[in-house]
Amino acid sequence: MSSTGRICASCGELRPKTAYTKKQWEKARQFSRCARCVHGGGGNAAAGPAGPGARAGFASPSSPAVVPADASRQNLAVEAYFTDSALIRPFEDGSTMEVARGIYTAGPRTGQPCVCKWVKEGAFDPEQYSDEEILEGCLRCSREALRIVNLFNQEGIAAGMPIIVSMPERWTIAEHPLFPEEVGGVKCLVEPFIEDFKKFNNNRGGVFQTGGRRARWSALLQALSHFSYHVTSGQLVLCDLQGGINDEVFVLADPAVVSRVEGVWGVTDMGPKGIRGFFRSHTCNEYCRSHWTRPGR
């Protein structure tokens, strides 16, 4: 690898030499950490809960995918703690995924809250989709969302209203004698916890209106979905936009992609009917641009 850059041992991102302190750059490549990871961790969250729990770790020793960093929110951690009750009784029990809240215990985000998400048993026909395929579909959608959001932010459409994307990683819930067999060893996605979580649209064309300070974010996110169709020359729509507002930054999580061919982007890809559904309900607002492409135009 060129001496002008290297992969950070904490966040797994390819960073230039200028992103490292002299001390960190002089360390062996497998140990050097960029300045953002060295100085950007911490937080005021309480210490991890006492009592029995599970530590989630990386599913494999391979490095996380290298992704653009400007609009991403990374784990910046290598271990997390979840109580047995958090895993057995998730705080969110949806139709397809279950979500437990825990706390990071190793890495720059140590002490900060996180979540792990795993595929709900029986949610899908295992002969059609394995849990690994479903999780990989989620990761692919997040990576595509990051690419599109980077372009959207660069357009300068809404000054002072940046959007960032929470980038989950595939981890494994450790075996534990107190856990049911179906919990220990389960592959999951781990990412930082998001406060005040809210859904703004879905992958079937639904748009959820909101008032107050969320109203302008709602309009901006609908414009982001429209922009995604335009910037990909009509190939897809980024949708199922949800997340939370943190210090006037919107943190996007768990997005879906609907495309011209159903299923290409995983189980949440509704195909052309998802695209048509979005534009049936979408009314252009102050953040949309008149030259942006629409179906049939």
What pLDDT is attached to residue 50?
A: 34
What pLDDT is attached to residue 54?
A: 61
Which is nearest to 242 in space by CA: 274, 283, 210, 269?
Answer: 210
A 10 A CB-CB count for 5 gives 15
What pLDDT is attached to residue 22?
A: 78
What pLDDT is attached to residue 191?
A: 96
State the Cα angle at 158 between 156 and 161, rounded to 5°.
110
| Rounded Cα distance, 32 and 11, in Å | 11
CA distances from 147 to 75, 152, 188, 202, 256 (A): 18, 9, 23, 19, 13
| Rounded Cα distance, 273 and 293, in Å | 17
Q: Chunk the chain into consecutive blocks of 10 residues (it has 297) and report each block's average pLDDT, rounded to whole numbers.
A: 57 68 74 65 29 49 41 90 84 83 92 92 80 92 95 89 94 69 76 93 86 88 98 97 89 96 93 96 96 90
Contacts of 41 (CB under 8 A, 6+ apart): 76, 107, 108, 109, 110
Determine whether 267 is exposed, middle or buried from the number of CB atoms within 10 Å of its CB (0-12, 13-18, 19+).
middle
| Alpha-carbon dihedral sign for residues 255, 261, 263, 266 | negative
Residue 241 per-residue DSSP state: -
Instruction: Read off the tokens for 102.
Output: 């825990």
Say what the alpha-carbon torsion angle 103, 70, 240, 142 is, to the nearest 10 degrees: -70
The strand pairing partners of 115, in sequence order, are: 101, 191
What pLDDT is attached to residue 232?
A: 97
Determine whether 247 is exposed, middle or buried from the number of CB atoms within 10 Å of its CB (0-12, 13-18, 19+).
exposed
Instruction: Read off the tokens for 126.
Output: 């295992």
Sheet of 249-253, strand order: 72-73, 163-166, 249-253, 242-246, 198-199
What's CA 296's distance to the chain center, in Å? 32
Tell the residue number behind the tokens 């979408």, with chain if given. 282
**Radius of gyration of the chain measured on its C-alpha atoms:** 20
Instruction: Read off the tokens for 33.
Output: 């950490």
